Structure 1
Amino acid sequence: MPVYSMTGYASGQNTPGGGHADADSRPAAAGRLGVEIRSVNSRFLDLTFKLPEELRQHEPALRELLTRSLKRGKVELRANFENSAASGVVEPSTRLLQRLNGVQDGIRAWLPTARELSVADVLRLASGDGSQRGDWGPDLLEVSTKALAAMMEARAREGARLATMLSDNLGELRKLAEQAGPLVPQLVEQQRNRFLERWQDAMGLVGGTLPEAAQDRALTEATAFAIRIDVAEELTRLSSHLDEIERLIAKGGEIGKRLDFLIQELHREANTLGSKSAALELTRIGVDMKVLIEQMREQVQNIE
């Protein structure tokens, strides 16, 4: 399954009704319907619809369409249409005029005070601004479905790019961990030798053999120092987290929240490693790790 980014944009449009006339009434709604869908990162799925009044009744169907494919992100769907009849006059058919006249007579038989239809009323009904509004629904869903599919493709492409960047950072973190491991025994040995040198200076010995007590004390000091700077446990946990992140990236799907948690754990291990640092080289490794982890945090924030 792909890794999806929460950032994406797509749009689509078509001509509702195909411009064909309705044989039983009047010309189908003429015009152009446009849909835009855009999304950015968010902790949860946050849907916003910006629809004209003529299309607002279709919001529940659009909401169901989006929730079937999207799990996280702040998503806005905007729809609009332009009626081509706005720039010209649609001539009503004879059949439509007959039907309107019959309906008007029926209404006035029950409501004698009802006013007669004006020419403007007839033209408005003929142009599709009235009873034809419901005909936009199927076209709206069709265009929205196509736009959603295009946006999902865009999110998948961006997700693949983010996954590649994460994998590269994982490789760099593994290299740094490999560098940190051998440093601890070297530092312990350096600390032991440093203690013995100080003991020699204090005793005024030059090239002589140190007392056995000094040797034992040096070993004790080196052992205590090794315990303080031992980062084997941190490196083991860090490696385990890196393995899990690699597994999630390979799995794909809805992994953003899990990755975010693992990035926090990586940061904790890098901080602990830095606090135990007893050498400039180990400090540099800890800083480099935190820089990489922070880059990964920014990337993960955009993964669904």
Structure 2
Amino acid sequence: MVIAQVHSMTAFARVEQVATFGSLQVEIRSVNQRYLEPHFRLPDTLRALEPVFRESLRQRLTRGKVECSLRFEAAEASQAPAVNMQRLTEIADALAAVQKQVPDAVPPTTLELLNQPGVMATQHLDPETIHAVATQLFEQALDELVDTRAREGAKLAEMITTRLEAVNEQVAKVRSLLPHILERQRAQLLERLHTARTELDPQRLEAELVLVAQKADVDEELDRLSAHVDEVSRQLGQKGPKGRRLDFLMQELNREANTLSSKSVVAETTRCAVELKVLIEQMREQIQNIE
């Protein structure tokens, strides 16, 4: 059986980068969800990036509750004040002119000069540069998340394939038991008639035997179980999201296993039906995590 790439919905990724303007850290975590449900925690200064991030998620993922967080810490150097030399020169020229007109005027101290409006300026961060780096980091984290989902999905597919083989073994076992079951039912009916010392009309006896055979006949259920197993295998070989379809097939498999159990007339088929339901439930639990 050829298995296409299966993606889990459970994964985590974190990347960070330190630059001259500060540090950026991106975290993305996802868990199973019926639809794609993104949540973002971004600093106010980078809130404008949310539509970009949302579109990237939509293009790469189809299902899952995805929490994305972006942290930004500006470097101290980027927030350090700087002297506006042009403004300081203008003030110095003005003071020199005043000094000529009023020779006795007391010149201002250096601190007083620095406190003049416009002399001190804070270095501003370049938002375009920060946005570009943040977007690149988000794409890198998203790549890591998708790779993680693919690795875990491959393990899930392997587990499901193993369980499918076990289901086929149980179906084959029940098929091999059917002739023995029908013969045993026939013998038990004849024995009860003999014990009761009752003789039935041959046609009536034949009708009773046919009824017993119909009640014990599970060929239809076994055929549907085999068909559903084949469809699960086919879905695993398809490209793209497949979790919802697989979940539906698990419901159908479980329905047939329940019918097989209800029609069981001997302990052997009951045990097989129970084992089938255990295998199907194991697959269903894992399929809940498949995209």
Q: What range describes the TM-score normalised by the shorter chain of this pair?
A: 0.7 to 0.9
Alignment of 1:220-299 (within 5 A): 220-299=207-286
Alignment of 1:164-183 (within 5 A): 164-183=158-177
Q: Does 1:139 align with 2:133?
A: yes
Q: For this pair of structures, how many residues does the alignment match?
A: 263
Normalised to the residue count of structure 1, the TM-score between the two structures is 0.80
Once residues 28 and 87 of structure 2 are traced to their aligned partners in structure 1, the CA distance between those partners, rounded to angstroms, is: 40
Once residues 249 and 89 of structure 1 are traced to their aligned partners in structure 2, the CA distance between those partners, rounded to angstroms, is: 54
Instruction: After TM superposition, give the deviation of residue 251 of structure 1 in Å.
Output: 2.0
Instruction: After TM superposition, give the deviation of residue 89 of structure 1 in Å.
Output: 6.2
Q: 1:118 to 1:293 in 2, by over 3 A?
A: farther
SS at match of 2:65: strand
Q: 1:93 to 1:152 in 2, by over 3 A?
A: farther
Once residues 48 and 89 of structure 1 are traced to their aligned partners in structure 2, the CA distance between those partners, rounded to angstroms, is: 30
Contact 1:192 1:219 in 2 (8 A): no
| CA displacement 1:58-87 (0-9 Å, x = unmatched) | 11111111111000000011001111217x
2:266 maps to a residue whose letter is A
Aligned with 1:37 (options 7, 20, 28): 28
Instruction: After TM superposition, give the deviation of residue 90 of structure 1 in Å.
Output: 2.8
Normalised to the residue count of structure 2, the TM-score between the two structures is 0.83
* Aligned residue in 1 for 2:184: 190
Alignment of 1:119-158 (within 5 A): 119=120, 122-123=121-122, 126=123, 128=125, 132-158=126-152
Contact 2:83 2:119 in 1 (8 A): no
* Aligned residue in 1 for 2:59: 68
1:229 maps to a residue whose letter is A
Contact 2:232 2:249 in 1 (8 A): yes
Q: 1:238 to 1:99 in 2, by over 3 A?
A: farther
Q: 1:9 to 1:198 in 2, by over 3 A?
A: same
Cα RMSD over matched residues?
A: 2.4
Contact 1:192 1:221 in 2 (8 A): no
Once residues 60 and 157 of structure 1 are traced to their aligned partners in structure 2, the CA distance between those partners, rounded to angstroms, is: 28
Instruction: After TM superposition, give the deviation of residue 135 of structure 1 in Å.
Output: 2.9
1:246 maps to a residue whose letter is S
| CA displacement 1:174-206 (0-9 Å, x = unmatched) | 0000011132222221121122222222339xx
Contact 1:263 1:297 in 2 (8 A): yes
Q: Does 1:54 align with 2:45?
A: yes
Contact 2:41 2:70 in 1 (8 A): yes
Contact 2:36 2:64 in 1 (8 A): yes
* Aligned residue in 2 for 1:2: 5
Instruction: After TM superposition, give the deviation of residue 91 of structure 1 in Å.
Output: 5.2
SS at match of 1:253: coil
* Unmatched tracts of structure 1, length 5 or more: 20-29, 103-114, 205-210
| CA displacement 1:203-247 (0-9 Å, x = unmatched) | 39xxxxxx7x56554432221011112111111111111001111
Aligned with 1:92 (options 82, 94, 103): 82
